[in-house]
């Protein structure tokens, strides 16, 4: 089998002479025997001619038409492509064989030079040599094609020149290879080199599902009857049938081989997956006049018009308004955001894109790592701060009022000082009693305790002045008691007039320290912190729970857990549908964010409209209209009173006004009085019981002693009588 060169011309091209450098390079290439090799051993011959004869024949007879840019291409940068002859048939090379090489060369240089690498994919029967100044990787279809193709894509192969024989193998592997790659270039281009326009083969190509991933496709077909090359492109449009994209082949008109397919998408449906999550996403069934979308057939067979709204959904609606596409939606209110697994499966919004059941998904989706293995993200749409809605601190019970003037540590210090003072008074009284030996009873521990309590309560107490050491000790105790008493009184005055609350949960550190359970309806709320190394973050991940809406609504008033949510870019809180007006007054947001994320849309790795959508995102962000969109969506779909209650829960002066004293403020004092009276009464009863028991024991002892005495007396008397 020998190699034949197939050539042609670009439509609309102009005739130019073949440059000298090009002639020298052609002769050099053929003298080296590169294009003359074949599978039958007659290396150096094509159609019976030697390389030198072929080169002379080519340069003499060639009258190919080249676009004007060909003059700027040096001879050593030409592109040569050869294709094996089917059924061992040979074609005579004539003057028209120069054009196809030139066409491919010009297309590669003008349309593929911007890419990191161009992959040339062929079979062993095809001969391809790229000499244009672009990085090129040549892949032959064989038993290891998928592995080789995967390596090439991983190394940055972004455009493809594919022979007819390798086309279907390439198309079959295209999506799988790119889903398993870390490369995410969206503007991929394909140049298909056909031996002839075979209608059956072309139909098989346009019906291939992966053709939709490569809208920038050009097909080169040799036209032997006119000694030229025909250029075709794919056309995508919707014929009015839901969830259907029709692909046709049409001739390329003009010089642009890769026209912008997204300036007019001809009603092509984009499958959106989202959920009810205002202000990011909102949907409802509506009338046709108001509708801006409809159900995707995979979600609902009935053709029911939909109205979509929200700060993220409206981006896609605006995209389709600009570029003449349509939005078909599906919703997942069961798995919500869902999860993605290592075996390339998933559920929820994330799984719908990873499994390519949807083209795009939005609803406050962050740059999560696990879905990124099999999908990609758009430019950031907005910022979102993840926070926690925690119970507001409640007013402390009134009985604690007498104990609130000091903190626990200060109460401990006061108690220690009291014990030391009692011990000091008792010891110095003992020493004084031994030194002076006054005619009075010695001081007991009880006396010393009452003396110290008198100092602390700023009451009169017995102080010794007959020894200088006693004067110094009692003077220091007097001043200490004065300071403690006045400090306590001042604190008590403030506490009794200003309501006192439990210790609030203000920060994420506080939330971790309290150990309170917090949660939401999906695991996705902690995707971003599951691998966090900070100890307090690990505690928070451990205390997170996935709970239902009913459970959240029930516990929103019980002050026993927190609820994950997000603070939107323009200061709204979502989700808040589980909170009613009463519960919103019992909850408040943390002062800081647990973490923050950029919100984006998740799309497939080969999403062809990614760049256009990213451009729209940047234009919208620069315009500042997102603030209006969010405000409008929040006013329409969020409860205004609940939003105000939650966002203003920490406002200064919210309920911390001076209050008039009531009987409840004295409950603590009455409790202390009652406890004292109770303890005194109990002690008094115990003392009476102890005295009576002592008296009873003494009485019984005397009676026993008297009995023993009488018994012994009678025994002695009887002995003497005998």
The tens digit of pLDDT for each residue in 645-675 reads 999 888 755 555 666 767 777 777 788 888 8
Angstrom CA distances, 693 to 48, 395, 477, 557, 689, stand at 138, 49, 41, 56, 6
Name the pLDDT band for 99 (thresholds 50, 70, 90): low
The tens digit of pLDDT for each residue in 391-410 reads 999 888 877 878 888 888 99
Mean pLDDT of 269-277: 97
> Could you tell me the strand order of the sheet in which 79-84 lies?
3-4, 79-84, 127-130
Which strand (E) or helix (H) includes residue 28? helix 20-31
Report the pLDDT value the prediction gives residue 190, as an integer from 0 to 100.
Answer: 96
Name the pLDDT band for 33 (thresholds 50, 70, 90): very low
Is residue 30 predicted with pLDDT exceeding 50? no
118-132, 270-284, 413-427: least confidently modelled range: 118-132
Q: Do residues 218 and 190 touch, judged by C-beta distance below 8 A? A: yes
Q: Are strands 228-237 and 217-223 parallel, antiparallel or unpaired?
A: antiparallel
* Third-level CATH fold of 382-398+501-599+636-655: D-Maltodextrin-Binding Protein; domain 2 (3.40.190)
Cβ-based burial of 302 (10 A; exposed 0-12, middle 13-18, buried ≥19): exposed
Report the pLDDT value the prediction gives residue 658, as an integer from 0 to 100.
Answer: 62
Name the pLDDT band for 447 (thresholds 50, 70, 90): confident
Report the pLDDT value the prediction gives residue 404, as an integer from 0 to 100.
Answer: 83
Name the pLDDT band for 19 (thresholds 50, 70, 90): very low
Report d(CA 360, CA 590) in Å as an integer.
33
Is residue 539 predicted with pLDDT exceeding 70? yes
Classified as helix, coil or strand, 143 is coil
- Delimit the domains of the chain by residue range: 93-251, 269-381, 382-398+501-599+636-655, 405-497, 658-706
Task: Tell me the three-class secondary structure of 300-340, residue by residue.
Answer: CCCCCEEEEECCCHHHHHHHHHHHCCEEEEEECCCCCCCCE
Report d(CA 525, CA 515) in Å as an integer.
18
More confident position, 183 or 254? 183
Is residue 197 predicted with pLDDT exceeding 60? yes
Is residue 249 predicted with pLDDT exceeding 60? yes
Strand-pairing partners, residue 157, are 117
Q: Whole-model pTM?
A: 0.74
Percent of the chain with pLDDT over 70: 84
Q: Are strands 117-122 and 136-140 parallel, antiparallel or unpaired?
A: parallel
More confident position, 111 or 87? 111
Is residue 81 predicted with pLDDT exceeding 80? no
The tens digit of pLDDT for each residue in 476-520 reads 888 888 888 888 888 888 777 777 888 899 999 999 999 999 999
Helical axes 445-456 vs 468-497, angle rounded to 10°: 50
Mean pLDDT of 89-95: 32
Report the pLDDT value the prediction gives residue 653, as an integer from 0 to 100.
Answer: 52
The tens digit of pLDDT for each residue in 554-593 reads 999 999 999 999 999 999 999 988 999 999 999 999 999 9
Q: Do residues 548 and 574 touch, judged by C-beta distance below 8 A? A: no
Is residue 128 predicted with pLDDT exceeding 90? no
13-17, 384-388, 450-454, 559-563: least confidently modelled range: 13-17
The tens digit of pLDDT for each residue in 669-712 reads 788 888 889 998 998 999 899 999 988 898 888 888 888 888 88
Report the pLDDT value the prediction gives residue 652, as an integer from 0 to 100.
Answer: 54
Helical axes 164-179 vs 145-154, angle rounded to 10°: 60
Q: Do residues 3 and 35 touch, judged by C-beta distance below 8 A? A: yes
Report d(CA 611, CA 158) in Å as an integer.
14
Q: Do residues 36 and 54 touch, judged by C-beta distance below 8 A? A: yes
Through-space distance between the first and last CA atoms of the chain, rounded to whole angstroms: 158
Is residue 158 predicted with pLDDT exceeding 90? yes
The structural architecture, per CATH, of the domain 93-251 is 3-Layer(aba) Sandwich (3.40)
258-267, 374-383, 444-453, 640-649: least confidently modelled range: 444-453
Report the pLDDT value the prediction gives residue 55, as an integer from 0 to 100.
Answer: 40
More confident position, 526 or 223? 526
Q: Do residues 401 and 668 touch, judged by C-beta distance below 8 A? A: yes
Report the pLDDT value the prediction gives residue 62, as an integer from 0 to 100.
Answer: 38
Which strand (E) or helix (H) includes residue 159? strand 157-163
* Third-level CATH fold of 269-381: D-Maltodextrin-Binding Protein; domain 2 (3.40.190)
The tens digit of pLDDT for each residue in 210-231 reads 999 999 999 998 887 887 888 9
Cβ-based burial of 73 (10 A; exposed 0-12, middle 13-18, buried ≥19): buried
Name the pLDDT band for 722 (thresholds 50, 70, 90): low
Beta-carbon contacts of 522 under 8 Å, excluding residues fewer than 6 positions away, are 336, 337, 338, 348, 546
Report the pLDDT value the prediction gives residue 659, as an integer from 0 to 100.
Answer: 65
Report d(CA 362, CA 262) in Å as an integer.
21
Task: Tell me the three-class secondary structure of 332-392, residue by residue.
Answer: CCCCCCCCECCCCCECHHHHHHHCCCCCEEEEEECCCHHHHCCCEECCCCEEEEEEEEEEC
Q: Do domains 93-251 and 269-381 have the same CATH topology?
A: no
Classified as helix, coil or strand, 454 is helix
Is residue 455 predicted with pLDDT exceeding 50? yes
Name the pLDDT band for 77 (thresholds 50, 70, 90): very low
60-64, 301-305, 631-635: least confidently modelled range: 60-64
Report the pLDDT value the prediction gives residue 657, as an integer from 0 to 100.
Answer: 60
Mean pLDDT of 228-254: 92
Instruction: Name the average pLDDT for the chain.
Output: 83
């Amino acid at each position: 089998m020998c190699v034949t060169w197939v050539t042609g011309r670009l439509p609309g091209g102009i005739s130019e002479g073949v440059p000298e450098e090009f002639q020298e390079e052609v002769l050099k290439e053929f003298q080296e025997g590169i294009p003359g090799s074949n599978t039958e051993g007659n290396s150096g011959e094509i159609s019976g001619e030697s390389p030198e004869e072929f080169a002379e024949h080519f340069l003499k007879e060639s009258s190919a038409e080249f676009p004007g840019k060909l003059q700027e291409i040096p001879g050593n940068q030409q592109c040569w492509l050869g294709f094996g002859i089917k059924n061992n048939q040979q074609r005579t090379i004539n003057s028209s064989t120069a054009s196809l090489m030139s066409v491919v060369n010009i297309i590669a240089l003008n349309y593929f030079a911007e890419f990191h690498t161009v992959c040339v994919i062929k079979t062993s029967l095809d001969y391809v040599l790229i000499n244009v100044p672009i990085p090129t990787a040549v892949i032959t279809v064989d038993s290891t094609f998928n592995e080789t193709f995967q390596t090439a894509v991983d190394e940055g192969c972004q455009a493809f020149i594919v022979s007819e024989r390798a086309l279907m193998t390439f198309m079959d592997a295209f999506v799988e290879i790119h889903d398993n790659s870390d490369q995410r270039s969206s503007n991929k281009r394909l140049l298909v080199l056909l031996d002839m326009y075979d209608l059956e083969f072309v139909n098989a190509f346009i019906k291939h599902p992966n053709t939709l991933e490569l809208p920038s496709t050009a097909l080169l077909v040799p036209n032997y009857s006119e000694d030229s090359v025909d250029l075709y492109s794919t056309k995508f449009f919707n014929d009015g049938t839901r969830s259907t994209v029709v692909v046709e082949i049409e001739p390329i008109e003009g010089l642009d081989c890769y026209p912008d397919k997204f300036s007019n998408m001809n009603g092509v449906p984009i499958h959106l997956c989202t959920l009810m999550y205002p202000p990011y996403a909102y949907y409802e069934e509506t009338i046709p006049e108001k509708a801006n979308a409809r159900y995707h057939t995979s979600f609902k067979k009935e053709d029911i018009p939909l109205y979509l709204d929200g700060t993220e959904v409206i981006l896609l609606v605006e995209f389709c308004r600009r570029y003449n596409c349509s939005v078909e939606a599906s919703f997942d209110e069961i798995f919500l955001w869902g999860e993605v697994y290592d075996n390339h499966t998933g559920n929820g919004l994330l799984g719908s894109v990873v499994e390519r059941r949807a083209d795009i998904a939005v609803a406050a989706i962050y740059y999560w790592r696990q879905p990124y293995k099999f999908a990609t993200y758009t430019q950031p749409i907005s910022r979102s701060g993840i926070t926690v809605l925690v119970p507001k601190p409640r007013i402390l019970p009134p009985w604690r009022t007498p104990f609130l003037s000091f903190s626990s540590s200060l109460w401990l210090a006061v108690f220690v000082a009291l014990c030391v003072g009692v011990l000091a008074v008792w010891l110095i009284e003992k020493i004084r009693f031994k030194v002076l030996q006054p005619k009075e009873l010695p001081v007991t521990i009880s006396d010393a305790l009452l003396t110290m309590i008198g100092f602390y309560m700023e009451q009169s107490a017995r102080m010794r002045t007959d020894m200088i050491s006693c004067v110094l000790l009692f003077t220091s105790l007097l001043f200490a008691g004065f300071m403690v008493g006045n400090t306590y009184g001042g604190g008590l005055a403030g506490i009794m007039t200003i309501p006192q609350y439990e210790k609030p949960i203000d920060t994420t550190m506080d939330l971790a320290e309290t150990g309170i359970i917090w949660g939401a309806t999906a695991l996705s709320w902690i995707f971003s912190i599951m691998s966090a190394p900070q100890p307090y973050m690990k505690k928070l991940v451990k205390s997170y729970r996935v709970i239902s809406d009913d459970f959240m609504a029930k516990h929103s008033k019980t002050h026993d857990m927190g609820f994950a949510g997000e603070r939107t870019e323009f200061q709204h809180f979502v989700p808040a549908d589980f909170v009613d007006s009463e519960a919103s007054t019992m909850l408040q947001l943390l002062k800081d964010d647990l973490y923050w994320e950029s919100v984006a849309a998740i799309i497939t790795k080969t999403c062809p409209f990614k760049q256009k959508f990213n451009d729209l995102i940047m234009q919208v962000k620069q315009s500042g209209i997102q603030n209006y969109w969010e405000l409008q969506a929040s006013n329409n779909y969020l409860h205004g009173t609940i939003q105000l209650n939650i966002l203003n829960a920490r406002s200064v002066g919210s309920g911390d006004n001076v209050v008039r004293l009531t009987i409840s403020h004295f409950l603590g004092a009455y409790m202390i009085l009652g406890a004292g009276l109770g303890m005194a009464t109990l002690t008094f009863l115990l003392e009476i019981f102890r005295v009576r028991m002592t008296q009873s024991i003494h009485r019984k002892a005397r009676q026993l002693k008297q009995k023993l005495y009488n018994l012994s007396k009678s025994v002695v008397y009887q002995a003497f009588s005998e």
